[in-house]
Amino acid sequence: MSTRPSLRVTATDGQSLAVYTAGDPGRPTLVLVHGYPDNAAVWDALAADLAVDHHVVTYDVRGAGHSTAPDERSGYLLDQLADDLRFVTDAVSPDRPVHLVGHDWGSIQTWHAVTEPAHANRFASFTSISGPGLDHAGHWLRRAPDGVRNVLRQAVRSSYIGFFGTPGLPEAAWLSGVGGLALAGLERLGGGHRVPARRATRDYLNGLELYRANMLRRFTRPAERRTGVPVQALAPTHDAFMVDQVQSNAGRWADDFRFHRFQGGHWAVRSRPAPVARRVRAFVAEIESGEPRPVRNLTAGRARRHGGAFAGQVAVITGAGSGIGRCLAFELAERGARIVAVDLNGPAAERTAALCSLVTPGSAAQRVDVTDAAAMEKLAAWVRDAYGVPDMVVNNAGIGVAGPFLEASTEDLERVVDTNLWGVVNGVRAFAPMMVESGGGGRIVNTASAASYLPSRLYGAYSATKAAVLGLSRSLRGELAGRGVSVTAVCPGLIDTGIISNARLSGMGEVSSAKDRLNRLYRLRGYTPERAARRIADAVESDPEIVPVTAEAHIGLALSRLSPAAVRAYARLTPPL
């Protein structure tokens, strides 16, 4: 973008806003709104990318860059900032709604604009990066729908707000140089890219009024602010100032909402603009096509419970034709995800997808044998063409096998290894490269088992495959962490899924009676796949390494760490049949 303004826009109170433009005015117009303590230059790399096929507009918000600054604190109120955005919009695109992109405080003021009925018709879409609506954040802090722990995490990350609100102290810090050094360190932590050393002190000091004019009143008396403008929220994986949950919870306030993660820190819009450009470009193209994703209307109860952590995401689930895979597909669809249901049983996968589409339109089914590496590569290519890079891949397909290891046939051993281990390997190898290449932020979830750390004399082959899945998952988590893709292993325990009915048993007497006894044990345990799916979806949101589901899975994991001797003793016992 040019260092000199392309035009100036006069606000309602007479302030002069410096506006910069690039790209073809005949293309869809994108207006990018920067945060604190930045000016429009923070968008330069992203704007250059998007200007290839868009009309890109940036501007210095009041008090920053080449824009003038009000003398009174009231000049920084959100209502005034939203008016500024509308005036810029009218000047650069008087005849067509514009697409908005906001970062940090730019996102905060843009949320205010799109939730203002008088302005909303001027906006075609809104991409929010690292910035919630203050009213939305106020409700989130008061109600703690994602738990007190996440509220405390956010409170720690927002502790600087109290410092900014202290009269005279931050000004003294900036002028002494201490504040500038501290912020430079935070920017390196948040974005991996240091800001220019000689930033105008004026931008720092003026921007403090944003906090002082708005924070207290919005957090203590949050309003009910909703929008019909399509919104996507982008959350960097290593944001030093924001937790995912406060951003994803904004789905309660938007009729059409999507939430995506990408690798980077708070200032990734400058240091790693490619993943942001990819999401913005795809979102704008969808809206401009006139066929956006069907609006998802959560009931008030579901919205309060689930927020929007999976809204608008694409989840590929293998083994989705039955059991935990099917129930997890339903649960994620209920939370706003589009599901690609994969199963060797084609009709079962189609049934799962059809039911998911009743809740969140756009789900699909594919019949695929996960043991076939070429078929999994073909599936990945199809998903990329049809949906784009998925946000989540759940390698869940698996089979059961029980009985003494020495009495298992070679065929049974090969089958359980091919499905339970190679099925996961093939899924990871097919999808992980595209998830890394797209900029990270995605999740891989591999279904292991409590048997992976609780050996049993009757489940040797099964335990071996699940222990391998757990080991692979933990290793991949370390390998892919620096590339923005998280990996989680799920260890369910005794879930009444009907897996025993399809399991291969060897050396256990009459097979049918043994299966009846095992099925009875699972039914008596009474832990349903629906309950397991809810537990998995809740847990995966916080990106854990391992998700033990049932009580015995938790106890077994603790024993494996604290008392290996007890685990060895358990392995010698014959399970009750």
Cα 353 to Cα 21, 348, 532: the distances in Å are 44, 9, 19
Q: Report helix, strand and coil shares of the chain as percent, to nearest 5.
A: 50, 15, 35
- Residue 123 in 3-state DSSP? strand
Cα–Cα distance measured from residue 317 to residue 341, given in angstroms and rounded to the nearest whole number: 5
Instruction: Please state, in angstroms and rounded to a whole number, the distance separating the CA atoms of residues 50 and 48.
Output: 6
Check if 36 is active-site: no
Task: Give the count of beta carbons closer than 10 Å to the beta carbon of residue 546.
Answer: 18
In the chain, the amino acid numbered 367 is R
Contact between 501 and 515 (Cβ < 8 Å): yes
- Integer Cα distance of 360 and 370 in angstroms: 25
Rounded Cα distance between 536 and 474, Å, is: 17
Instruction: Give the separation between CA 157 and CA 70, rounded to whole angstroms.
Output: 29
Burial class (CB in 10 A: 0-12, 13-18, 19+), 209: buried
State the catalytic residue, choosing from 462, 522, 527, 570.
Answer: 462
B/e letters for 502-534, b = 16+ CB within 10 Å, e = fewer, are ebbbbebeeeeebbeebbeebeeeebebeebbb
HEC string of 358-418 equals HHCCCCEEEECCCCCHHHHHHHHHHHHHHHCCCCEEEECCCCCEECCHHHCCHHHHHHHHH
Both structure tokens of 188: 């390196």
Cis peptide before 37 (omega within 30 of 0): yes
Q: How far apart are CA 431 and CA 438, in angstroms?
A: 11
Contact 30, 58 (CB under 8 A): no
Contact in structure between 248 and 235 (CB atoms under 8 Å): yes
Q: DSSP for 464-516, please give it.
A: HHHHHHHHHHHHHHHHHHTTT-EEEEEE--S--SSGGGG-EE-SSSSHHHHHH
Return the sign of the alpha-carbon dihedral for residues 323, 324, 327, 333.
negative
Q: Which amino acid is at 458?
A: L
Q: Helix crossing, 78-92 with 105-114: angle to 10°?
A: 80
Among all residues, which ones are annotated catalytic?
462
